[in-house]
Structure 1
Amino acid sequence: MSILSFARSATRARFSATAAIRSSAASVHTLPKLDYAYDALEPHISGEIMTLHHTKHHQTYVNGLNAAEDAYVKTDSTKDRIKLQAALKFNGGGHINHSLFWKNLAPATQGGGQLHDGPLKAAIERDFGSLGKLKEKMNATTAAIQGSGWGWLGYNQATKKLEVVTTANQDPLLSHVPIVGIDIWEHAFYLQYKNVKPDYLNAIWNVVNFKEAETRLVEASK
């Protein structure tokens, strides 16, 4: 299953322990490979941040999700399964969100930061006025998150519009189809930008993979 298909399925139902049950072989989640080198997004995101973010933080969510799913399948206790739901949501959300995030980014040599004429640009101009206005709104909304979380450009399948929304902690985006996601956890930027979130948020647009975002939008619009 592709990352996009996985994310779309998450928008149709709550991420729950029941949905996490599957065979032992199928329940082994793995860390996805990146489509670019760790230092390919410099100077906007440092290679050190990318290395730690991918190999340490995302790997921790993968390990936690596998452990929680394994424990869920092995127990017949309803009480214990209820207790596991928090771990499934947190680690499952972390895995979903980060798997989307890596695809969300691309170095300039692979089109990062470049929005060309097409369905995505037309939708952005229709719903926000311009790419610049979208950046302003999304940056302000994401920077205002208290604590850790994610800022999203999401597609509302009910209204057929792009909207800026946020999720707390590692909660996956379920109300919209995720088109672009920005990780505002400190591990995503602190080594480079310290506590100056606006600098990180301004910089990341230079490596947003708009081609991938457009693919998500087109599929969500079907």
Structure 2
Amino acid sequence: MSALSRRHFMTAAAGLTAVAAAPRSVFAQAAPAPAATAPAATGPFVLPPLTYATNAFEPHIDARTMEIHHDKHHAAYVANMNAAAKTNPQLGTTPIENILGNINALDDGIKFTVRNNLGGHANHTMFWEIMGPNGGKPEGEVLAAITSDLGGMEKFQTDFNAAGGRQFGSGWVFVTVSKAGKLAIETRPNQDSPLMDGKRVLMGNDVWEHAYYLNYQNRRADYLKAWWNTVNWAKISERYAAAKAGTLGV
């Protein structure tokens, strides 16, 4: 083999070795449009800190998923809303539930941004709140409502999981509560919220793939079943009482 041919062979071999050694990308859901790695911009909207460690729910939800979900996805919704509030300051001075409850009154220029990002902020704020380690079991009025309106805990969990599994693509499964305290299971696409229909949210689970894909991949049903181990029933009881009193926000 000539020196020139040998040099070409060694160069090609080195290139193939470099390609083989390069890290392989992880197959996971692409981030939603508003998601980013930048910290939330300063402004009227604030990313609520978690009240528990990111590994508090392992093995049901892993720490890395919690970090990405809270610190990246939710933070991006907050940053985008703070950016929108710079040119639309009323967004930062109006209660979130009032803005979302009148979403169609917004100018077309900001409606899409608010629907996705303020909806995402409201949904995730609720989500972190109604989760917690050692969450106990439903008791008192909320258990009575689950029994009377949703057929008891076993049926409720089965129906809730089924609704979350049927939600096509990205979205949420919620339990809404009426002014009279009546419960219902509802789903919404993307970051839409029952608040946009003038309803109140007792609890809900995020079925966007970013909520579970690192551990569960396409097994959404497994995630939905495991998620019940993270529910904080004391907080849900507080939200139920607030909803009946008319003081529940997001």
Q: TM-score range by the shorter chain?
A: 0.7 to 0.9
Quote the Cα distance in structure 1 between the aligned partners of 2:161 and 2:44. Answer: 35
Q: Is the Cα–Cα contact under 8 Å of residues 131 and 231 in structure 2 kept in the other structure? A: yes
Aligned to 2:145: 123
Deviation at 1:116, TM superposition (A): 4.0
Identity percentage over the alignment? 38
Question: Relative contact order: is structure 1 or structure 2 higher (C-alpha 8 Å, sep ≥ 6)?
Answer: 1
Which whole-Å CA distance do the structure 2 matches of 1:101 and 1:117 have between them? 20
Does 2:194 match 1:173?
A: yes
TM-score normalised per structure 1? 0.80
SS, match of residue 221 in structure 1: helix
How far apart, CA to CA, are the structure 2 residues paired with 1:132 and 1:162? 15
**1:161 maps to 2:182:** yes
Considering only CA atoms, is the larger Rg found in Structure 1 or Structure 2?
Answer: 2
For 2:109, the equivalent position in structure 1 comes to: 83
**Match for residue 223 of structure 2 among 179, 200, 204:** 200
Aligned counterparts of 1:136 and 1:164: Cα–Cα separation in 2: 11
Question: Which residue identity lines up with residue 108 of structure 2 in the other structure?
Answer: I
* TM, length-normalised to structure 2: 0.71
Task: Tell me, yes or no, if structure 1 residue 100 matches structure 2 residue 126.
Answer: yes
**Residue equivalent to 1:49:** 65
Q: Which runs of 5+ in 1 are unaligned?
A: 1-24, 75-79
Gaps of 5+ in 2: 1-41, 91-105, 246-250
Q: Hey, which bits of structure 1, 4+ residues long, moved more than 2 A?
A: 71-74
Report whether the alignment pairs 1:143 with 2:153: no
Deviation at 1:81, TM superposition (A): 4.4
- The answer for the alignment partner of 1:20 in structure 2 is none
Matched pairs, number: 187
Question: Which residue in 2 is equivalent to 1:189?
Answer: 212
Aligned CA-pair RMSD: 1.8
